[in-house]
Amino acid sequence: MKSSNRRTGSLSRRRLLTRAAVGATVLSAPMIIKGPLRRAYAADNVIRIMGVTTVALPDWTQFEKDTGLKVEFTPIDDAIGTFLHEVETNDAGARYDLFAAFSGPWKGLADKGYLLPVDDSKIPNWKGVSESVRTSPLIMGGEGALWSVPMVMNADSFAYFPELAGAPKAPEPVSWNLLFDNEKTKGMVALDDSFFTLQHCAAYLKFHKLAEIGNPGNLTSSECQTVSNFLIERKKAGQFRTFWVSYDEQVSLLVNGEVAAETAWEPAAKEAQSQGVAVEYAWTIEGYDKWMINAFIPKEAKDRGNLEQIYKALNWFMGGAYAAQIAILRGYVTPRSDLGKEYAVSAGWKAQDVAQIEETMVKLDKKFAHELFWNSGWPDDIESYEREMSRFKNA
């Protein structure tokens, strides 16, 4: 089994379709600037966002029309460590009104006083958010405190070739055993090079009661070891072919027919499909890798006097125009995909675009309601994750 190192031109985890979706104002934005407070900007009707580019739009015209505000979006690497450094060390809260980052680090930032709790009564569109999202541990703190709101979400699974895998086409559910323990796919499976593979396998083992697993999205040290032992056993049996480390590699493996199944981001499977490849993106029996990119309010916003503007922006992100655009740009979900359809229909969008938005509505209704599993991207025992993933890859 080999691990690919073709990193040139790659896109990091979930920072997808940036080349098509992020406009020149985002790509040309300055690097994160250290330094002084920006109180002079408090009343200038501009919402300044520091965030991962997955949530950015190529054109903010509709936002400006609907809210009367403007957006200045400064992109940041999607590594959670980079985000934490900017907030805790570089005083990002003094310069930005909203942070947009993966959900994982909210608890540490909240405990240290870097964030304001979110008052959902000031976000009218929040009332229609599904129960499965409203109660996600990725946003809820103790005593029901809300520390962030999801902007973009997805429920990741894997790509597979029905004929090679001997499996039905989507949306008929299939098992993650196509990746981890299946004779028909043996030797033709590609896995994510990162420790997320441990979580995917843990959900499979938990569902089928093949191991004692608590939360697949936040494994203990002993659970990491248990999962790694299983993966090493399957590796020695010849189950896996390779690892991938980038979006481009995922697409290449599918387009070139090098695998029967691979863990994959949904846009990678869609890209292969757009090239005429008969690959499916799995609806699964066991569950999904459910993740969020969330909006956080820095504590400094309270003293800037623009919380009303910030909540107006958050409500727009929970609205139809944003949901519709994200569905078309990314194939991803927002908490109010239903409003996305309403917006698209009322705006006279093409039938195929409305149908694509409807697909995200079904995804939100079915996939996100599945118990397994929420992935914060920031597990408590990262050292054990990295150690056991390395042991598996090097076995």
**pLDDT 10s digit of each residue in the chain, 395 long?**
544 332 223 344 444 433 333 333 333 333 444 444 444 455 579 999 999 999 999 999 999 999 999 999 999 987 888 888 999 999 999 999 999 998 877 778 888 999 999 999 999 999 999 988 988 888 876 566 889 999 999 999 999 999 999 999 999 999 999 999 999 999 999 999 999 999 999 999 999 999 999 999 999 999 999 999 999 999 999 999 999 999 999 999 999 999 999 999 999 999 999 999 999 999 999 999 999 999 999 999 999 989 999 999 999 999 999 999 999 998 899 999 999 999 999 999 999 999 999 999 999 889 998 989 999 888 889 999 999 999 999 99
Task: Return the closest-CA partner of residue 96 out of 141, 151, 30.
Answer: 30
Q: Which one-letter amino acid corresponds to residue 236? A: K
Its domain, for residue 212, covers 156-288+374-394
Question: Is 281 within the bounds of a domain?
Answer: yes
Are residues 95 and 54 located together in one domain of the fold?
A: yes
Give 165-188 as a DSSP string: HT-PPTTS-B-THHHHS-TTTTT-
Question: Is 11 within the bounds of a domain?
Answer: no
Total Cβ atoms within 10 A of residue 124: 12
**Which helix (H) or strand (E) segment is 64 a member of?**
helix 61-67
Are residues 161 and 125 located together in one domain of the fold?
A: no
Cβ atoms of 29 and 77 closer than 8 Å: no
Question: Is 297 within the bounds of a domain?
Answer: yes
CATH number of domain containing 82: 3.40.190.10
Question: Is 26 within the bounds of a domain?
Answer: no
Are residues 73 and 190 located together in one domain of the fold?
A: no
Are residues 255 and 389 located together in one domain of the fold?
A: yes
Are residues 382 and 281 located together in one domain of the fold?
A: yes
How many domains does the chain fold into? 2
Are residues 256 and 126 located together in one domain of the fold?
A: no
Are residues 163 and 250 located together in one domain of the fold?
A: yes
The three-point CA angle 359-14-321 to 5° equals 45
Are residues 304 and 215 located together in one domain of the fold?
A: no
Are residues 278 and 311 located together in one domain of the fold?
A: no
Are residues 70 and 214 located together in one domain of the fold?
A: no
| pTM, rounded to two decimals | 0.86
Report helix, strand or coil for 239: coil
The three-point CA angle 251-252-253 to 5° equals 95
Are residues 160 and 272 located together in one domain of the fold?
A: yes
Cβ atoms of 79 and 104 closer than 8 Å: no
Question: Is 97 within the bounds of a domain?
Answer: yes
Are residues 51 and 97 located together in one domain of the fold?
A: yes
